[in-house]
Amino acid sequence: MNDLLLRALRRESVSRPPVWMMRQAGRYLPEYRAVRAQSDFLTMCRTPELATEVTLQPVDLIGVDAAIIFSDILVVPEAMGMHLTLDEGVGPQFPSPIRTDADIRALRPVEPREQLAYMLNALRMTSHALNDRVPLIGFAGAPWTLAAYMVEGKGTKQFAVAKRMLYEAPERAHALLDKLATAVGDFLVAQVEAGAQVVQLFDSWAGALGPQEFRTFALPYLAKAARRAREAGAPVIVFAPGAAWALSEIAAVTAADAIGVDWHTTPIAARQRTAPFNVALQGNLDPCALYASPAEIRTRTREMIAAFGPTGHVANLGHGILPDMRPDHARAFIDAVREWEWTDERIAAWNAGDLAGVTR
Amino acid sequence: MNDLLLRALRRESVSRPPVWMMRQAGRYLPEYRAVRAQSDFLTMCRTPELATEVTLQPVDLIGVDAAIIFSDILVVPEAMGMHLTLDEGVGPQFPSPIRTDADIRALRPVEPREQLAYMLNALRMTSHALNDRVPLIGFAGAPWTLAAYMVEGKGTKQFAVAKRMLYEAPERAHALLDKLATAVGDFLVAQVEAGAQVVQLFDSWAGALGPQEFRTFALPYLAKAARRAREAGAPVIVFAPGAAWALSEIAAVTAADAIGVDWHTTPIAARQRTAPFNVALQGNLDPCALYASPAEIRTRTREMIAAFGPTGHVANLGHGILPDMRPDHARAFIDAVREWEWTDERIAAWNAGDLAGVTR
């Protein structure tokens, strides 16, 4: 088995970093679009055969070092009883968003083996089909991000409706977030039992909160879900884009094995902020950098690897791959990582702080 | 004349910080909506009487310490010959966005006294009407932000089309940005000559760029425009939301008198990053914090003032005021600043690093 990802998450020495891409099972692949043409997004999520098929595509076609199960973070609020629509071009919506205490009380407790059995089945089927070629990653949305969608009803630029609840009715927000932290934690545990070898928590809307609100409404619930998942025995990756200032607090409070770094933060800054914690970092090439020529993609990827250094790095993009990206440009990124080798000379240059020497 | 703003921008000692709000002439005011009901947005921009009327509203109704001329950053691309539409609910759009070298060559040089005479007239009329009650602020969009709109054609979440140009055709991007820096600089000089006593550059989409791209495509052109405006003799404020990591570089390269701080960054962190530069800071209460009760707004405002410290602070929100905000909540923010006093005891507590002592 290619266990580079698991070793990097344990901060063991590796000859090169493992690499995968957020949204790697997605629209940039013609093979994905062919499946998608026959079936809508939610049906794909709910049909283990289809979810397995598109989960495997980037492993077979692009050569990534990990599979991440095809699903969506909003399956958890749906399992709690919220009606979810996913219309083409509009994005996911909850037509009846959460606004009152009664709305929160009406949310069902999540029993993942019942309401989310389809995703657990997809994990089992994918795990079987992978046959130990690469590790399988499960995932869930973090409580704040799910709450933001559930209160807002849809994705927005500022999440002002959801934030209004934090300021106007903080106790209501805490009640919702606590329910979500339990549901997300249970779900991640069930995913590990169904075959996920790593789990990632996406706090995609972390950047909608300032420091004080992030510490009050996001971090404690992120930590609760992450710690519960860790007890199940799988390494946990936490990705909170737009909250670069919080990297060290996330490392301290969630005890994550790895923290995702978005493309706003330089690898050097991320390493400095997380230095007191024995934590791996994942990221962080700007997805738009894949618009550059393959030669330029290779140069930037090598600079990124050099800057993150020889241990505890999972190469990835700093956000999801864009739907209009050319597959050969995605492959140029993956290939640049796969051809890398952390030679003794490079490790020595890195230890001496000579980044130019590392990429030479 | 209430010259608190001018004194704070010179980092002189003041008994309290000046305060104004981004988008203070806007939809949260019923008096603004009454004007807007009679006339579309662009007509208001182009009609000096209407622009003057709404510019004065927050001075008269809310008690801010500065007026900022009612206009839009996209008037510059429009002056360069691009067709601009501003439909209700859709946001501003350029139906024929910039895509080719020929598109860039076709852009007209901007002679502000011709194509933008209406805004200069609005400044003159507002300046006269203000009669030295408070200073008048002019503004323009920064080159990268204007380029992002012109290439994308509209506001988007990621500005992937505009960023694609940076990676695929950097020389094309530089040609566009250089034209814009000249146009924006000339426009700001003309605004100062027409009565603007302070100018602000909005690099609203700074956060769409990672550090390397910001340094290459945003910062040099931001600096070029800012330095040109400074030569005209007015203090310059630069606001680049979403690029907290860049505060010190912006201070170093643009030589701005003040730098806007968005609500993602704590005042303490902003002070630390800009400490080597004798620069004032402007900000940064989260606009959503105005959803809280007036008592809570007052508490947070006082904590913010205390953290920025006694010199070189312009109190403001960390982003534009939201259109659904209650005017009395906006007033609670303004009043909390106006009642503040930097007493000797508070200054001593601040110098001792005792923030709790400052707000006591």
Among A19-33, B76-90, B101-115, the minimum mean pLDDT is found in B76-90
Q: What percent of chain B has pLDDT over 90?
A: 96
B22-41 pLDDT, tens digit each: 999 999 999 999 999 999 99
In this structure, what is the dihedral angle of CA atoms B48, B60, B132, B232, given to the nearest 10 degrees?
-50
Lay out the sheet containing B280-285: strands in order across.
B67-68, B136-141, B198-202, B236-239, B258-260, B280-285, B313-317
- Average confidence (pLDDT) over A22-50: 96
Check whether A88 has a pLDDT greater than 80: no
Give the model's confidence band at A195: pLDDT under 50 very low, under 70 low, under 90 confident, else very high: very high
pLDDT value for A35: 97
Catalytic pick from B3, B7, B11, B72? B72
pLDDT value for B87: 77
Provide φ and ψ at B133, rounded to 5°.
-65, -50
Whether B149 is catalytic: yes
pLDDT value for A307: 97
Among A18-22, A332-336, B351-355, the minimum mean pLDDT is found in B351-355
Check whether B167 has a pLDDT greater than 90: yes
B164 closest CB neighbour out of A244, A266, A288: A288
Q: Which of B286, B297, B300 to mutate to test the interface with A (most CBs of A within 10 A)?
A: B286
- Average confidence (pLDDT) over B310-335: 97
Measured between CA atoms, the residue of chain A closest to residue B168 is A292
d(CA B78, CA A318): 34
Q: Are B207 and B244 in contact (CB under 8 A)?
A: no
pLDDT value for A1: 86
Query: What domains are there in chain B, each with its CATH number?
Result: 4-359 (3.20.20.210)
pLDDT value for A302: 98
Provide φ and ψ at A151, rounded to 5°.
-80, -40
Check whether A71 has a pLDDT greater than 90: yes
Chain A residues interacting with chain B (CB cutoff of 8 angstroms):
157-158, 160, 163-164, 166-168, 207, 210-211, 213, 242-245, 263-266, 269, 286-289, 291-292, 296, 318-319, 322, 324
Q: Do A158 and B288 touch (CB under 8 A)?
A: yes
pLDDT value for B89: 74
Give the model's confidence band at B281: pLDDT under 50 very low, under 70 low, under 90 confident, else very high: very high
Q: Do B265 and A288 touch (CB under 8 A)?
A: no
What are B88's two structure tokens?
Answer: 């209700």
Q: What percent of chain B has pLDDT over 70?
A: 100
pLDDT value for A347: 96
d(CA A279, CA A276): 9
pLDDT value for B158: 87
Give the model's confidence band at A170: pLDDT under 50 very low, under 70 low, under 90 confident, else very high: very high
pLDDT value for A158: 87
List CB contacts of A60: < 8 A, sequence separation 6 or more. none
For B241-266, b/e burial (b = at least 16 CB within 10 A) is bbbbbbbbbbbbbbebbbbbbbbbbb
Give the model's confidence band at B157: pLDDT under 50 very low, under 70 low, under 90 confident, else very high: confident
d(CA A182, CA A189): 11
Paired residues of B310 in beta bridges:
none
Ramachandran area for residue A159 (φ above 0: left; ψ -120 to 50: alpha; else beta): left
pTM exceeding the 0.90 threshold for the entire prediction: yes
CA A63, A67, A68: angle at the middle one, nearest 5?
Answer: 140
SS3 B139: strand
pLDDT value for B90: 81
Q: Are A282 and A262 in contact (CB under 8 A)?
A: no
Catalytic pick from B7, B27, B215, B227? B27
Q: Do A245 and B157 touch (CB under 8 A)?
A: no
Q: Do A296 and B167 touch (CB under 8 A)?
A: yes
Among A148-152, B91-95, B203-207, B284-288, the minimum mean pLDDT is found in B91-95
Check whether A21 has a pLDDT greater than 90: yes
For B146-164, b/e burial (b = at least 16 CB within 10 A) is bbbbbbbbeeeeebbbbbb
Q: Are B304 and B285 in contact (CB under 8 A)?
A: yes
A167 closest CB neighbour out of B164, B213, B292: B292
Q: Do B164 and A264 touch (CB under 8 A)?
A: no
Check whether B293 has a pLDDT greater than 80: yes
- Average confidence (pLDDT) over A165-191: 97
pLDDT value for A107: 97
d(CA B182, CA B177): 9
pLDDT value for B146: 98
Check whether A31 has a pLDDT greater than 90: yes
Mean pLDDT of chain B: 96
Q: Do B163 and A264 touch (CB under 8 A)?
A: no
- Average confidence (pLDDT) over B347-358: 94
pLDDT value for B360: 85
State how far residue B137 is from chain A, nearest Cα, in angstroms. 26
Of the candidates A222, A220, A257, A265, the residue with the CA atom closest to the CA atom of residue A241: A265
Q: Which of B28, B205, B288 to mutate to test the interface with A (most CBs of A within 10 A)?
A: B288
Check whether A82 has a pLDDT greater than 80: yes
Q: How many CB atoms lie within 10 A of CB A296?
A: 16
d(CA B298, CA B282): 18
pLDDT value for A270: 97
Catalytic pick from A46, A149, A186, A230? A149
Catalytic pick from A36, A124, A133, A227? A36
- Average confidence (pLDDT) over A266-278: 95
Q: Do B265 and A245 touch (CB under 8 A)?
A: yes
- Average confidence (pLDDT) over B256-271: 97
Q: Quick one: three-class SS letters along chain A?
A: CCCHHHHHHCCCECCCCCECCCCCCCCCCHHHHHHHCCCCHHHHHHCHHHHHHHHHHHHHHCCCCCEECCCCCCHHHHHCCCCCEEECCCEEECCCCCCCHHHHHCCCCCCHHHHCHHHHHHHHHHHHHHCCCCCEEEEEECHHHHHHHHHHCECCCCCHHHHHHHHHCHHHHHHHHHHHHHHHHHHHHHHHHCCCCEEEEECCCHHHCCHHHHHHHHHHHHHHHHHHHHHCCCCEEEECCCCHHHHHHHHHHHCCCEEECCCCCCHHHHHHHHCCCCCEEEEEECHHHHHCCHHHHHHHHHHHHHHHCCECEEEEECCCCCCCCCHHHHHHHHHHHHCCCCCHHHHHHHHCCCHHHHHC
Check whether B266 has a pLDDT greater than 80: yes
- Average confidence (pLDDT) over A235-248: 96
SS3 B224: helix
Mean pLDDT of chain A: 96
Measured between CA atoms, the residue of chain B closest to residue A262 is B210
Chain B residues interacting with chain A (CB cutoff of 8 angstroms):
157-158, 160, 163-164, 166-168, 207, 210-211, 213, 242-245, 263-266, 269, 286-289, 291-292, 296, 318-319, 322, 324
List CB contacts of A77: < 8 A, sequence separation 6 or more. A84, A94, A146, A149, A150
pLDDT value for B84: 95
Measured between CA atoms, the residue of chain B closest to residue A159 is B288
- Average confidence (pLDDT) over A61-68: 98
Check whether B278 has a pLDDT greater than 80: yes
- Average confidence (pLDDT) over A36-53: 96
List CB contacts of A324: < 8 A, sequence separation 6 or more. A28, B160
Check whether A46 has a pLDDT greater than 80: yes
Check whether A87 has a pLDDT greater than 80: no
Which helix (DSSP H) or strand (DSSP E) does residue B181 occupy? helix B170-193
Give the model's confidence band at A29: pLDDT under 50 very low, under 70 low, under 90 confident, else very high: very high
Long-range contacts, A82-88 (Cβ 8 Å, 24+): A82/A107, A82/A150, A84/A42, A86/A40, A86/A41, A86/A42
Q: Do A269 and B245 touch (CB under 8 A)?
A: yes
pLDDT value for A324: 95
